[in-house]
Amino acid sequence: MGVSRDLSVVLSGVALQNPVIPASGCFGFGQEFRQFYDIDMLGSFSFKGTTLHPRFGNQQPRVAECEAGMLNSVGLQNPGIDKVISEELPRLRQCFRQPLIANISGFSVDEYVACCAKISECDQVGLIELNISCPNVHGGGMAFGANAACAARVTEACKRASAKPLYVKLSPNVADITEIARACEAAGADGLSLINTLLGMRIDLGTRRPVLGNQMGGFSGPAVFPVALRMVWQVYEAVTIPIIGMGGIATARDVIEMMMAGASAIEVGAANLVNPCVCKEIIEDLPRVMDELSIVNIREIVGAAHG
């Protein structure tokens, strides 16, 4: 009989049955993916980025293909916090019983605070993921995440308003991600999520114009994995709070590598759009890879690559 492999992790007191979490924007509110497998097998998932008011999002086209990845410029399309709470979460309760991660965005500190206060009252939510790093909107998102003082200000305000652990999602589109990470930790963040997408673009050679309606968008997919891994490594060295690592993860081996760099759990983004069953396949393959690498408890490998 083989050795039992323990996939469970804990994020700021919130217990997850495994470390695999679909990333916000790549899993909606779970309804489309439940057609393919039992999504209750996931550790959690970060639901669609939610703002105080409904948003239609950016003009089309919103997606462009790239080598080893994709660009998106959806622009935080969502029904608004009140409809998420009154409609999406009750519907989700029928098929998902694990703690949820609420991805919250805004265009002012007051908007972030209002959303955090509202979503904190929902018992389905285990963690709040404060998105201060979206590159696809103007006047919000990355504007907060690109400056340490701004990041600290919104983190501190939301921490006061939130009854749930607060994880701040960091942008890679900065000179020094560790400076932002330290500022968020000092302002009271319970954890960090990184990385959000890299800012990129494509040009249509026929029209000689940018492919995306918003001109630029967020680049994600396998090509960004080494960049994400490097930034998780750096932030792990800089802070003491837990990290959720993401960026180009598509296999069980990627999960192990990201956790060795310092992540306590991981999120899978663009790979869900290529293969809707990828998270299921990763969870099922993790015990085999752990066995191959003589890992009994997945928590033991967090930060294992550091001296």
The residue ranges of every structural domain in the chain are: 9-56+76-201+221-301
Q: What is the pLDDT of residue 135?
A: 53
**What does the alpha-carbon distance between residue 172 and residue 146 come to, in Å, rounded to a whole number?**
9
134 is catalytic: yes
Interhelix angle for 148-161 vs 177-186, to 10°?
A: 30
CA atoms within 13 A on the CB side of 302: 21
Query: Which amino acid makes up residue 55?
Result: R
100-104 and 243-246 strand pairing:
unpaired
Q: How far is CA 183 from CA 88, 145, 153, in A?
A: 33, 10, 9
pLDDT score recorded for residue 217? 92
| Residues 91, 79: Cα–Cα separation, whole Å | 14
User: Domain spanning 9-56+76-201+221-301: which CATH class is it, in words?
Assistant: alpha beta
Please report the pLDDT score of residue 141 as a whole number: 53
pLDDT in tens, 219-263: 999 999 999 999 999 999 999 999 999 999 999 999 999 999 999
Q: CB of 167 within 8 A of CB of 130?
A: yes
Segment (H or E) for 287: helix 278-292
Q: Tell me the average pLDDT across 283-292.
A: 98
pLDDT of residue 1: 43
Predicted TM-score of the model (pTM): 0.96
Q: Which of 116, 134, 158, 184 is catalytic?
A: 134
Determine contact, residues 262/245, Cβ cutoff 8 Å: yes
